[in-house]
Amino acid sequence: MTVIVQPTIAEAARVAAQKIAQAMRKKPNLVLGLATGSTPLRLYEELIRLHKETGLDFSRVTTFNLDEYLGLPPDHPASYRRFMQDNFFSKINLNPNHTFVPDGLTQDITRHCREYEALIKSCGGIDIQVLGIGSDGHIGFNEPTSSLASRTRDKALAEQTRRDNARFFASLDEVPHGCITMGIGTILESRKCLLLAFGQNKARVVAEAVEGPVTSMIPASALQFHADASFIVDEPAAANLKLRAYYDQAFANELLGS
């Protein structure tokens, strides 16, 4: 696991975008796992900029989103399909037929989840998975106590998660109680994971995920098992890291070797 601390959100997003762009130039048909919410927005803005200003080509890229609310149609303002369309897909040259988001209206959840897993495998697996981290340490919608071997499935949302996400709805009452999410086991099969975390309110869970024990109570801590996982954080989110000097040294050496 590597930890990359940047002074600002913009600079952290730039580092993450450059890693993705570099991988896309080496493999134009990259399979990219995507996250939603406020955290990855700056990353998507930077990728859009690279597309417009440098010609970064998404025409052969395939995307899989981590999760979706149960019960929301894809055109609902708070659905993750709508979020991705409005904030990313519509602004780059990505083939709409190559974008996959779990179906929140599926009538057969078990079958849909099984088919989503099979579709990921049929595309060769996810090359880079973008992640955020919830205030309780969740990745995707894998809430605390989720199995570290879990696969794509339906999941009940914790009340803390519903409160955190209420800002995207008219009221807390409108926030769904359930979702479909890739499992932790699914995420760990990605070849590379990039977790973004910004702000003081993420400092505790970032430190616990990176430097604490691996535990289902902090689902993001499972990334300690991953061979190529990076936490890319701003200064406030890095505030509780004990080995900060080491992480800075390691990143400086990475840049010198590039």
The single residue of 143, 164, 208, 234 carrying the catalytic annotation is 143
| DSSP output for 71-96 | T--TTSTTSHHHHHHHHTGGGTT--G
Q: List the beta bridge partners of residue 155.
A: 179
Establish whether 76 is a catalytic residue.
Answer: no
**Other CB atoms within 10 A of residue 35 CB:** 23
Sign of torsion over alpha carbons 183, 187, 188, 193? negative
CB-CB contact of 144 with 219 (8 Å): yes
For the chain, the residue count is 258
**Amino acid in the structure at residue 8:** T
Token pair 């796992």: residue: 33
Establish whether 51 is a catalytic residue.
Answer: no
The single residue of 98, 112, 138, 226 carrying the catalytic annotation is 138
Residue 137 to residue 148: CA distance in whole angstroms: 13
CB-CB contact of 136 with 143 (8 Å): yes
Token pair 């989503």: residue: 116
Structure tokens at 148: 């570290």
The single residue of 67, 103, 164, 234 carrying the catalytic annotation is 67
Establish whether 136 is a catalytic residue.
Answer: yes
The single residue of 57, 115, 136, 189 carrying the catalytic annotation is 136
Catalytic residue positions, numbered:
67, 136, 138, 143
